Structure formats: C-alpha cells, structure tokens
C-alpha cells in the first residue's frame, strides 16, 4: 500500500455516494485520510500539489464493506484450503493472505463472521489498521459458540433437549473472548443443516443462556452476533438485543414483527453467497437433509419482506469456504439484485452506507462525503448499469483505504 504523501484529487468521475441516490459528476479531494471536498470542481488553490487521478468517466464509490466473512477459513480465489487442518501458525498467515485478497477486491472494511483463532483476528485487526499489512478495516470475532460451549470447530448441534441449561458457561465464554480483545462474540443459536443434516431449525441455546451472554456482552462492551436460521432463534436474538442476525432464513410472522420493532438497532445478513455456492459449487450433491434448496427458497421470500419493513439488510455471504472463497464477496451484490429484487443502487447502499453502520462508524464510513474517511474505489464503468462488474478485479481501477492507495490506476 503506497502512502498518499499528500493530497489526492479524483477528476472526471461520477460519484455514487452510498446513500442510494443517482450518481452525479464531481471532483473529490482527499487530504490525509479524509475526504475534504466533493464538488463540481475543486478550487485550484486547494488542489495545488495534489496527485490527480483522472477517472476517465468511471464511477467513484465508497469502499465496499462485507458484513459476514471468514478470513480464517483458509480459502481465497488464489488459494484453496479444502481440509482446513493447517497448523495454527499457517492459519494465521492465511488470515493475513485473505485480508489482502479482500482488499484487492475493493472491500475496504469487514465485519468478521467468526474465527477459531480469535487472537489471530485481533492481531490482524491491529496490523491492518497500522497499514504495514494490507487488509480491510476489521472488526474481529470470537469462535462460534455452540450448544454446551464445546471447543472451537466442534459443530454437532445437539440442541437443548437432554442437557441442563448452563448460563454460567456462556457468560464465561463471552467474558473470555472479551479478554482476548474481540469486537464481536458469535453464538450459533440454531444449527446448520449444511453441516449437520436437519439442524437448521433446531434451537441450540436456552433463553437463560442467551440472556446471560447478553448481560456479559453489555458489561464487557462487546457486540453479539447470532447464527440464526430457525424462527425461534431469530426471536431469541432480537429479545436479547443481539446486534447482527445472520441468515434469518425461516423467520415467521412473529419473528418479522420483532425484527421490525428493533430495526433501528440491528442488522440482518442473509448470506446468499454461501447458499448459491452450496447449490451450484459444492463438490457433491447436497443430501436432502441439508435443506439447501429449502434454504434458498425461504431466504428469497423473507428478505424482500425484511426490506419492506425497513430492516437494514447487509451484504456478506459467509465467504472463506473452499467452494465459496474470499475474493468472490462482490457476488453478494449480484444476488441481492437477482434473488431479492434490489436495484443495483440499493445493493450498493447495503454494501456501503449500511456497512458503515454495521461497523459502528456510520458517521464517518460508507459514504463519499466531506469529512468521511477516504475509503474509495474507482470503477471502470457503471455498476448501476451492471452490478457484476464489481466482481472483475481488472475493472477496479483504483482502491484507496484510509487515504492511501492500495491500488493505483495504470
């Protein structure tokens, strides 16, 4: 990543500012790590000595933000890790590698979906922020807490029948992860049929356990994320103030009502990317109990209803698996259009303005606006005409994070 060495001005661009409004012609001045002018023309006195990037009529957009990615799962479009049994040391290197690949694709921020090595994510967050390792602005997450608080990587999803409720262990887990320094603690409130057949609709935590997790999270200043397919798991997440709800696949009317009431304090990431990959790109045909087709059908019905109710739906498709690697993240925007009926502008808003809000930086991230952080992507073409061009790395003419060019125009 090259240091800006001063001011930069983008000229001959159409600005998509992140709010969903139509792009408009403008010049954009960056000084330090902030956008300091967005105007029809930046005055000559202000642009004196600045690096000038001629956009050639392209589109300048905010840096993209992924709200559910797994840097630690080991697979990118450049390197596939099918077994995921590398040593901890190699997995740490893979996190760094995945962060660079994500930034190469124009994603300047990421909200982690979980990592078996949370200390590695905390270290990567620091390295990315300091700029000596290329990667996105990053919110680090715990490993995914499951029923009975088994060790990382054990996902048998037995449910709550036949075991005693143990709120103390859940509270300790949240506290231990806060001690590590994560931003996010993730709980698998439902199972996952794509991992263990037939478990997506089975609740994995008791009400008392989630209440204990929420109380400790508030006390320790960390956010909670819920893996929640089952309707009851979605309701549990909302009742206890969980901030990000992943999947939300089988939400019923009561769950939708609760989400609507809480729409100002939570986000939903429906993760179409992994569903598409499970349908079309997994190594073998899914077994019936994996519910892949049922999941696709349900999510295509529930997401438009979420949007109709004013709930903020964000992009992030569970990227990091070998059949859904980091580097394909922009495919979520295409699926938002094709599956959920978003316009390209609405899909981009979900990945920019709403993404900045997921990062808890909505007053300075996710828009092309004076005073905002200079996370910018110059696109060769108009993604509102064809959202798929964001998946073409060669069409990303320039990528800027924090006022520094990660990729400069040829």
The string of DSSP letters for 355-388 reads HHHHTT-TTTSSS--TTSB--EEEESS-TTT-GG
Q: Which residues, at least 6 apart from 85, have a Cβ–Cβ distance to it below 8 Å?
A: none
- pTM value is 0.96
**In the structure, what pLDDT confidence band is assigned to residue 84 with cuts at 50, 70 and 90?**
confident
Find the Cα–Cα–Cα–Cα dihedral 86, 71, 178, 311, rounded to 10°: -150
Candidate from 120-124, 152-156, 229-233, 393-397 with smallest mean pLDDT: 152-156
pLDDT tens profile 91-146: 999 999 999 999 999 999 999 999 999 999 999 999 999 999 999 999 999 998 87
- 148 pLDDT exceeds 70? no
What phi and psi values does residue 247 have, to the nearest 5 degrees?
Answer: 85, -75
Across residues 283-287, what is the average pLDDT? 73
**In the structure, what pLDDT confidence band is assigned to residue 163 with cuts at 50, 70 and 90?**
confident
Across residues 272-295, what is the average pLDDT? 87
Query: Coil, strand or helix: which one is 197?
Result: coil
Across residues 218-236, what is the average pLDDT? 98
Q: Give the rounded percent of residues in the chain with a pLDDT score beyond 90.
A: 87
Which class would CATH give 8-62+364-407?
A: mainly beta
pLDDT tens profile 21-31: 999 999 999 99
Residue 320: CB atoms within 10 A of its CB come to 30
Instruction: List the chain domain ranges.
Output: 8-62+364-407, 69-329
Question: Which CATH number does the domain 69-329 belong to among 3.20.20.140, 3.40.50.150, 3.40.50.11540, 3.20.20.70?
Answer: 3.20.20.140
Whether the domain at 8-62+364-407 and the domain at 69-329 fall into the same CATH topology = no
pLDDT tens profile 199-223: 999 999 999 999 999 999 999 999 9
The DSSP string of 104-162 is: HTTEEEEEE---S-HHHHHHHHHHHHHTSS---EEE-EEEEE-GGGPPTT------STT
Rounded distance between C-alpha atoms, residue 197 and residue 291, angstroms:
8
Q: Do 403 and 371 contact (CB within 8 A), yes or no?
A: no
pLDDT tens profile 344-392: 999 999 999 999 999 999 999 999 999 999 999 999 999 999 999 999 9
Q: What is the pLDDT of residue 149?
A: 63
Rounded distance between C-alpha atoms, residue 313 and residue 269, angstroms:
6
Rounded distance between C-alpha atoms, residue 114 and residue 212, angstroms:
20
For 407, which DSSP code?
E
């Amino acid at each position: 990543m090259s240091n800006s060495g001063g001011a930069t001005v983008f000229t001959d661009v159409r600005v998509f500012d992140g709010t969903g409004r139509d792009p408009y012609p403008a010049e954009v001045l960056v000084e330090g790590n902030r956008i300091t002018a967005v105007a029809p023309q930046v005055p000559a006195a202000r642009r004196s000595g600045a690096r000038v990037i001629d956009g050639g009529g392209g589109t300048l957009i905010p840096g993209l933000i992924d709200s559910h990615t797994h840097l630690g799962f080991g697979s990118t479009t450049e390197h596939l890790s099918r077994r995921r049994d590398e040593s901890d040391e190699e997995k740490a290197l893979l996190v760094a590698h995945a962060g660079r690949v994500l930034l190469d694709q124009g994603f300047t921020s990421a909200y982690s979906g979980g990592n078996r090595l949370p200390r590695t994510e905390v270290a990567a967050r620091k390295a990315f922020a300091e700029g000596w390792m290329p990667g996105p602005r990053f919110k680090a997450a715990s490993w995914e807490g499951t029923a009975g608080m088994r060790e990382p990587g054990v996902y048998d999803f037995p449910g709550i029948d036949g075991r005693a409720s143990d709120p103390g262990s859940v509270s300790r887990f949240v506290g231990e992860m806060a001690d590590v320094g994560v931003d996010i603690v993730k709980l698998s409130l439902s199972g996952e049929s794509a991992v263990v057949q037939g478990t997506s609709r089975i609740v994995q935590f008791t009400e008392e356990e989630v209440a204990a997790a929420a109380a400790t999270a508030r006390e320790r200043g960390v956010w909670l994320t819920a893996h929640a397919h089952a309707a009851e798991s979605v309701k549990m997440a909302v009742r206890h103030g969980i901030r990000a709800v992943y999947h939300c696949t089988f939400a019923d009317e009561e769950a939708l009502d609760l989400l609507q009431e809480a729409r100002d304090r939570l986000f939903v990431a429906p993760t179409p990317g992994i569903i598409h990959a499970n349908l079309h790109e997994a190594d073998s045909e899914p077994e019936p109990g994996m519910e892949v087709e049922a999941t696709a059908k349900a999510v295509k019905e529930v997401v438009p209803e979420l949007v109709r109710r004013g709930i903020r739906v964000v992009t992030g498709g569970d990227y990091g698996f070998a059949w859904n690697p980091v580097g394909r993240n922009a495919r979520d925007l295409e699926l938002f259009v094709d599956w959920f009926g978003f316009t390209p502008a609405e899909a981009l808003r979900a990945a920019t303005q709403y993404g900045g809000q997921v990062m808890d930086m909505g007053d300075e991230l996710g828009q092309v606006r004076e005073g905002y952080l200079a996370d910018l992507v110059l696109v060769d073409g108009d993604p509102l005409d064809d959202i798929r061009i964001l998946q073409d790395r060669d069409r990303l003419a320039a990528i800027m994070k924090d006022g520094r060019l990660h990729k400069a125009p040829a």
